[in-house]
A and B are shown apart, each in its own frame.
Chain A
Amino acid sequence: MDQGLPTVFDRRALRRQRTRAAAGFARHDFLVRAGAERLADRLDDMKPRFARVLELGAHGGILRDSLAGRAGEALHVAADLAPAMLARAQMPVVVADEEALPFATASFDLVLSNLSLHWVNDLPGALVQIRRILRPDGLLLASLLGGRTLEELRLCLLEAESEVAGGASPRVSPFVDTRDAGALLQRAGFALPVADADLLTVTYPDALALMRDLRGMGEANAATARPRRFTRRDILVRAAAIYGDRFAGPDGRIHASFEIVTLTGWAPAPGQPKPLRPGSAAARLADALGAEERPAGDKAPHG
């Protein structure tokens, strides 16, 4: 496990963060609730019913509350890296790592993952494992934090650290790019992959309140390249001042962006709708457009 792929995230640190966050999580769960709403909305659009559901990275089972039986589930398993996050979940629970899933092939009709996959080191590998535990025509529905998340905080910390310490190190975890997410789904063998993103802007009294909230939701930096020591107090204070100058509204409250990427993909099955083969069209596109067809490489005349 130590060789091979570079490790971006320290999964043990993440586990400790989640364990610490579990007790007070209800005060810091707005982001997880926002992600859960998006997943529940997507599910409302789906005709199929899903009897066996896995909630991966469950954060205490918030998603099941949002679903409230809408998926038609008979078995709903919650899995999380931290047992403390599962303590209050009223359902079968298991402590599991998204990077090494402990479920048999085709165990589930639906895998849900709400704001957890952005912590996975090997996202393509995790997606392949998820596809394997889905039955054919089973659905993956996931939300994760995208690349624009905390862009303001990232900028301010970088600037404050180079001012105060004369150098900078990553203090905000890296996130996946939305454009890459859809391609990853496809590479992992999912059919009909869809990835879209929306930006959520949240206001706080100041940047220190934002950082406290991040710790409260167990989402503080867990990148392995993060400094081993805590960020120096003077750097945090300077970053908060820069944040206040640049990203405060007229009311003095600062703005923080969270990009939520929502993914859907189906485990492949015969009889699923597929894109048509190139060249299989029965009518010419040029006819439909009323345009003149030209050989490729031939430039249309100007005018």
Chain B
Amino acid sequence: MNEQSVPSGIDPKLLEILVCPLTKQALRYDREHQELVSAAAGLAFPIRDGIPIMLVDEARRLDDAASTTRPEGAAQ
């Protein structure tokens, strides 16, 4: 079995090639909050159980830091 080095951490080889799905720009890995931050798009993509969720619907908007992610209502 392939044990991940960091529990619930993201695979480093995967981290190297991930970009923002909208802008295709590089992402900043926020280890503490387990997020991949796209400054260009103003979005933070969550990492849940080590799986990066690279969907715009699921991303947190950076200008609205206090709100929690609401997949159904976020797009409006």
Contacts and interface: CB of A to CB of B under 8 A. Distances in A.
A92 B19 contact: no
Interface of A: 1, 12, 75, 77, 81, 83, 86, 90-97, 100-105, 107-108
Given A93-B51, A94-B54, A104 B17 contact: yes
A173 B51 CA distance: 30
B44 interface: no
B70 interface: no
B76 to A, nearest CB: 10
Given A94-B14, A101-B21, A103-B17, A83 B54 contact: no
A1 B56 CA distance: 11
29 contacts: A1-B56, A1-B75, A12-B57, A77-B17, A83-B53, A86-B51, A91-B2, A92-B13, A93-B51, A94-B14, A94-B54, A95-B52, A95-B54, A95-B58, A96-B21, A96-B54, A97-B54, A97-B56, A100-B21, A100-B22, A101-B21, A102-B19, A102-B20, A102-B21, A102-B45, A103-B17, A103-B18, A104-B18, A105-B24
A83 B58 CA distance: 12
Contacts of B66: none
A101 B52 CA distance: 13
A100 B55 CA distance: 8
Given A77-B14, A83-B48, A95 B21 contact: no
B55 A97 contact: yes
Contacts of A103: 17-19
Contacts, number: 59
Contacts of B22: 100
B59 to A, nearest CB: 11
Interface residues of B, number: 24
A90 B17 contact: no
A77 B12 CA distance: 12
A94 B11 CA distance: 10
A27 B11 CA distance: 30
A92 B17 CA distance: 12
A244 to B, nearest CB: 40
A102 B55 CA distance: 9
B52 A107 contact: no
A104 B2 contact: no
B1 interface: yes
Nearest to A97: B55
Contacts of A97: 21, 54-56
Given A83-B53, A94-B52, A95-B51, A104 B1 contact: no
Interface in B37-68: 45, 48, 51-58
A97 B75 CA distance: 15
A225 to B, nearest CB: 20
Nearest to B71: A12
